[in-house]
Chain A
Amino acid sequence: MLPYFREGRFLKAGALAATVLLAVTLFAGCGSNYQSNTGTAKPVKVGLLVPYTGVFASCGENITRGAELYLDQVGWQAAGREIRLLKKDTEMNGQVGLQKARRLVESDRADILTGIVSSTVAYALRDYVVSKEIPLILANAGAADLTREKGSPYIFRVSFANGQYEYPEGIYAYDKLNFRKIVVMAPDYAAGHEKANGFMAGFKAAGGEIVQEIYPGLGTSDYGPFLTRIKDADAVWAHFSGNDSIAFVKQYDEYGLKGTIPLLTSGDCVDESSLPAQGDAAVGIISALHYSAALDTRENREFVSAYTDKYGEEPNMFAEQGYVAAKLIVTALEAVNGDLTDTDRLMSEIKRVEFTAPRGPFKFDPRTQNVIFNTYIRRVEKKDGKIINSVIETIPDTSDQWTPAR
């Protein structure tokens, strides 16, 4: 019992503890803190914070691929300065994300942060980046508040605010598809509710009626019990992503609903990376998103072919968002001539960036610093044995302002 407390061992142990503790901390703290001061040719450091582990690891991987593809195309430099991408795993955990951001900013001296798949991580980082005056380019996290009440001049979003493309989808469902009564299903977490609210607001504003709302737990694999309880309606609208979306779409078919009630979804639910696993069960689903790999424009054809050449598979929304984030950063760096000493100037240049992205026209809403994009209504179709999201309608200039402030 208690062998370490006899005689003076406790304190020797304590001394040992303190020494080890300090040695490792100093090592970690100073280890990578070298800075070469050789003039203006110092590389620009971009911190990329995405999950590489856990359920959303694939989103992180896709964002990284998109960003690296663009940086490859510009030779990893802007305005004569080398660009370095420092990749960190947030593990989809706010505290971990914050810890990694600290390391990027305080130890690695990152100039700009980007990435962020989960809104939890975005919220965790929000106050920190604002206090450190580091621009944060959100490449996925959709919590609408991040560019509303919790918005900041330091926060930009190139992806979407939750509800941004779901709201016009709701109007489309009423006006063009002539649905009057709809059942809504989404996973029971913040983004699920926000997206569902966006759709419901649009559908109700157009005159429709929501007859049932079902919120299964995030990570549900068996939707059978929920599906057997669905009421009679003109259509079901659902948002699920990742593994949940595969299970949901397949089971919607298996429980015989596909033939009886049409399925509308968020674009995430029929993501290009899920379509092969969903197979024929997905064919016929109508969804809304700011992107489709099947979009027939010059920019997108070039993007898709370059991406497919490099990675051997088609890009999805996340890959495109990573690509756009990288292009935004490079464009802004060119605009300030690689001079990052004046953060205010950098931010006003970021805000002003406009270009034609694979998704179509890209620009920010100057009031919120959230992106304005085209919303595409897509239908899942099978063409030459391949399952794709064919664009059937384009709704231009969709801004987050579509969603009424609550």
Chain B
Amino acid sequence: MKLTEKIDFYQKPRDFWRGLITLILILTPLGINSYGLSLLTQVLIFGILAMSLDILIGYTGLVSFNHATFFGVSAYTTGILFYCGWKNFWLTLGAGIAVSTALAILLGLVVLRSSGPYFLMITLAFGQMIFALAWRWRSLTGGDDGLPGISRPDLGLPVSMENNISFYYLVLVFFLATLFALWKFVHSPLGMSVVGVRESESRMQALGYNTFGLKLAAYALAAAVSGLAGVLYVYFTGFISPQELNWTMSGLIILMVIIGGAGTLVGPVIGAAVILVLQNLISSYTDRWPLFMGILFILCVMYARNGILGYFLKLFKGGKNHEGIGS
């Protein structure tokens, strides 16, 4: 275990791969119909969300069961501000991220005192409480009807975001920026220390680290990034309802991370793509989507514990990795 392992991101062959991915994603809108484009936009937004949860599950070892809370609270902040007349994208983006980060710090002070299954249950309880609040506080949130009719934001640029292609590029820019920033984070000394907490909290304490502070930092970061996803999502669909805060949503994000491969950052993006696309494909042929999802979940836990990404990498590399998820 080399915590200080450094990887040179700018080495030449990798520049090629990185450029290729980016190029493909940039050119995609030219060769895809409008439905495919909206699906891809959604995949990128959920990709951001799943990556943010991976910071907690894969790197910090915290299986949080209320990740939808931060996503939804930020989306609601944007929606409510829109209803108050805020049309500027950057202001609502800042507000959305600020509110979800602040909430994470407050919640984190309580929930991070526990770990393992207790952490899972206490986050679930808080998540459902905030879900109930969104449902009940009708004057602010619109109750179960949600907040409809939120139009695309004004970026202060000459491009209209009403156009789905330009909105896709906006999401793409944020997606790539998030991928880069989170990748930098997990390889920074701070990120390495967070992984150290996952591996052995007591050892890190013995080494003089403030492990609670490290966990809180990771928790706040994850919430901030999911806040970003929330803002993009509400502008994308133009609508927010309490369902986005419900535990089913949190479960779906966990599924994306696990299926894609926890602790890999890009894996959860694949997970998001696979789930969203499967959901679309399967549900147009049959109503048995939950059954498929359950089976997929079980198969993943049993045969691809490092997710789809881990499974393929094992095939390529003859794999030596037999670690469990987040263990």
Q: Mark B54-84, 1 if CB is under 8 A from A, else 0.
A: 0000000000000000000000000000000
Shortest distance from the beta carbon of A138 to any chain B beta carbon, whole Å: 14
Residue interface bits A4-23, CB-to-B below 8 A is 1, else 0: 11111111111111111110
Question: Could you tell me the distance in whole angstroms from the C-beta of B35 to the nearest C-beta in chain A?
Answer: 4
Find A32's partner among B244, B284, B308 (CB 8 Å cutoff): B284
Q: How far is the CB of A8 from chain B (nearest CB, A)?
A: 5
Q: Is there a chain A Cβ closer than 8 Å to B117's Cβ?
A: no
User: How far apart are B6's CB and chain A's nearest CB, in angstroms?
Assistant: 10
- By the criterion CB–CB under 8 Å, are B264 and A13 in contact? yes
Residues of chain B within 8 A (CB-CB) of A150 are 148-149
Partner of B313, one of A9, A26, A29: A9
Q: Which residue of the partner chain, among B35, B186, B316, contacts A106 with CB atoms under 8 Å?
A: B35
Q: Which of A120-128, A230-238, A302-310, A389-397 contacts B (4 or more CB under 8 A)?
A: A120-128
Q: Which residues of B contact A20 (CB under 8 A)?
A: 270, 273-274, 308
Q: Interface SS of chain A: helix, strand, loop or mixed?
A: helix
Residue of B17, B199, B244 near A95 (CB, 8 A) is B244
Q: Enumerate chain A residues within 8 angstroms of B203, measured Cβ to Cβ.
A: none
- A53 proximity list for chain B (CB < 8 A): 287, 289-290
B residues near A33, Cβ cutoff 8 Å = 33, 35
Complex alpha-carbon distance, A29 and B323, angstroms: 36
* Bound CA–CA A216/B309 (angstroms): 47
- Does B24 make an interface contact (CB < 8 A)? yes
Chain A residue with the shortest CB-CB distance to B196:
A1
1/0 per residue, CB under 8 A from B, across A299-338: the answer is: 0000000000000000000000000000000000000000
Q: Are A15 and B38 closer than 8 Å at their CB atoms? A: no
Which of A20, A31, A103, A188 has most B Cβ within 10 Å? A20
| A-side contacts of B284, CB under 8 Å | 32, 88, 103
CA distance A161 to B205 in the complex (A): 62
A28 touches B280 (CB 8 A): yes
Interface residues of A in 171-194 (CB under 8 A from B): 188-190
- B119-159 contacts to A, CB under 8 A, are 135-136, 138, 143-146, 148-149, 151
Contact residue range for chain A?
A: 35 or more
Are B195 and A2 touching (Cβ within 8 A)?
A: yes
Residues of B10-31 contacting chain A, CB below 8 A: 11, 13-14, 17-18, 20-21, 24-25, 28, 31
Query: B37 at interface (Cβ–Cβ under 8 A)?
Result: yes
| Stretch from B102-110, B207-215, B233-241 at the A interface | B233-241
- Counting contact residues on chain B (CB < 8 A from A), the size range is 35 or more
Q: How far is the CB of A136 from chain B (nearest CB, A)?
A: 14
Could you say which residues of chain B place their CB within 8 Å of the CB of A21?
Answer: 40, 43, 269-270, 273
Chain A residues whose C-beta falls within 8 Å of the C-beta of B18 in the assembled complex = 11, 14
A373 contacts the other chain (CB 8 A): no
* Option from B20, B267, B283 in Cβ contact (under 8 Å) with A15: B20
Q: Say whether B160 faces chain A, with CB atoms less than 8 Å apart.
A: no
Given contacts A1-B1, A17-B269, A18-B24, contact A123 B309 (CB under 8 A): no
Chain A residues with CB under 8 Å of B25's CB are 18, 22
CB pair A124–B1 under 8 Å, yes or no, is no
* A44 in the interface (beta carbon within 8 A): no
Q: Is the CB of B145 within 8 A of A190?
A: yes
Binary contact readout A56-89 vs B (1 if CB under 8 angstroms, 0 otherwise): 0000000000000000000000000000000011
B residues adjacent to A (C-beta < 8 A):
1, 3, 5, 7, 11, 13-14, 17-18, 20-21, 24-25, 28, 31-40, 42-43, 135-136, 138, 143-146, 148-149, 151, 183, 186-187, 195, 199, 237-239, 241, 243-244, 261, 263-267, 269-270, 273-274, 277, 280-281, 283-284, 287, 289-290, 308-310, 312-313, 316-317, 320-321, 323
Nearest first, the 9 A-B pairs at minimum CB distance are A29-B36, A106-B35, A107-B35, A123-B148, A18-B21, A11-B17, A11-B14, A21-B273, A24-B277
